[in-house]
Amino acid sequence: MSEHVEEGSAAEGVQAMYEYGYRKAGYGPDELVTDAHGNPIAVTDAMMKAEDAAKQVTSTPHLCYYSPRIPGNTGSAIRLCAVTGTILHLVEPLGFNLKDTKLRRAGLDYHDMAHVVLHPNFDNLVETMPDSRIIAFTAHASKLYTEVEYKPNDILLFGPEPGDIPDPMEIMGGPHVAEQVRLPMRPSLRSLNLTNCASIAIYEAWRQLNFAGGK
């Protein structure tokens, strides 16, 4: 009897290890990710209303992904935004379901620590953030990202990941865009990973703002 108890306890210990982005035995798809307290959550639990995002006092600019296609990139962006205090805006259409396993795993246990706003279209972003300057990151720009003086209510806009669909230049270069900037790269190479680019941009902006709210 005692052997069975010991084996059961060991099994329970192993089960307890499978959290923060890894599936526990018996968990359904909506319980794949847990918060910092071990409670299962969904990405949608962390959603913020667009109107509330416009009123937030932030230490870093907002980050916007227009029509992202790769769930792991958005999951990584959630983690980035959690650790920097950045609000993440996602503009539909998305190329994945918000309950996608890769998105949830990439975000680890940061989903309840980040503010995520979902917009049905780009016009909704512009309308609900009227006081924000939109800075588009695009390879077509001539100005470097370091040549801009960033403000906490700016929106750093990134388009879809490279693929068969061309960049939506009506979004990345429309009248709502105040600045177009780029990250320097060797001319023989095409692009950086989306969230790698966003990380570089957010940390440059945060550096200019003296890493307010960080330590």
pTM: 0.76
Average pLDDT of span 27-55: 63
DSSP element (H, E) containing 179: strand 177-182
DSSP element (H, E) containing 172: helix 169-172
Higher pLDDT, 86 or 191: 86
Average pLDDT of span 124-142: 94
Average pLDDT of span 157-172: 77
Per-residue b/e over 167-200, b at no fewer than 16 CB within 10 Å?
A: beeebbeeebbebbbbbeeeeeeeeeebbebbbe
Per-residue confidence (pLDDT) for residue 207, from 0 to 100: 97
Per-residue confidence (pLDDT) for residue 140, from 0 to 100: 86
pLDDT interval class at 120 (50, 70, 90):
very high
User: How does strand 87-91 pair with strand 115-119?
Assistant: parallel
Question: Closest Cα partner for 106 from 164, 174, 32?
Answer: 32
For residue 183, say whether it is annotated as part of any ligand binding site.
Answer: yes
Q: Say if residue 199's pLDDT is above 60.
A: yes
For residue 191, say whether it is annotated as part of any ligand binding site.
Answer: yes
Q: In whole angstroms, give the CA distance from residue 89 to residue 81.
A: 10
Per-residue confidence (pLDDT) for residue 34, from 0 to 100: 53
For residue 13, say whether it is annotated as part of any ligand binding site.
Answer: no
CATH code reported for the domain at 42-208: 3.40.1280.10
